[in-house]
Amino acid sequence: MPEISRFLGIVIKMFFDDHNPPHFHAEYGGEVALIDIRALAVFSGKLSPRVTGLVIEWAALHQQELLADWDRACAREELRKIAPLE
């Protein structure tokens, strides 16, 4: 599962040829959540409210890049790194 971004100890990953809806995996402190890219919401797993807020803020800034990486992942193409939250 390629890592596409990392910031403030949060790791963002995306699987190749993963299930719908388009999403990414956010990991922090042993917790994992799946984030729907279009809805910008957690649909599986759990992160603390503070970390969830940071992840959603980052995803909102990079929504189009995330959707483009999702399309690449489904096509089993190389994913592009996405800038961290600053």
Other CB atoms closer than 10 Å to residue 49's CB: what's the count?
Answer: 8
Q: For residue 21, tell me if it sits in a domain.
A: yes
Q: Tell me, yes or no, whether 82 lies in a domain.
A: no
Domain residues for the domain of 36 are 3-74
- Indicate whether 81 belongs to any domain: no
pTM: 0.95
Query: Residue 80: inside a domain, yes or no?
Result: no
Q: Is 83 exposed, middle or buried (0-12, 13-18, 19+ CB in 10 A)?
A: exposed
Query: Side-chain half-sphere of 75: how many Cα atoms within 13 Å?
Result: 9
Residue 1: predicted pLDDT? 63
* Predicted pLDDT of residue 83: 98
Longest dimension (CA), the chain: 33
Work out how many domains the chain is built from and give that number.
1
Per-residue pLDDT at 52:
98
Span between the terminal Cα atoms of the chain, in Å: 24
pLDDT digits (tens, 9 = 90+) for 9-54: 999 999 997 899 999 999 999 999 999 999 999 999 999 999 999 9
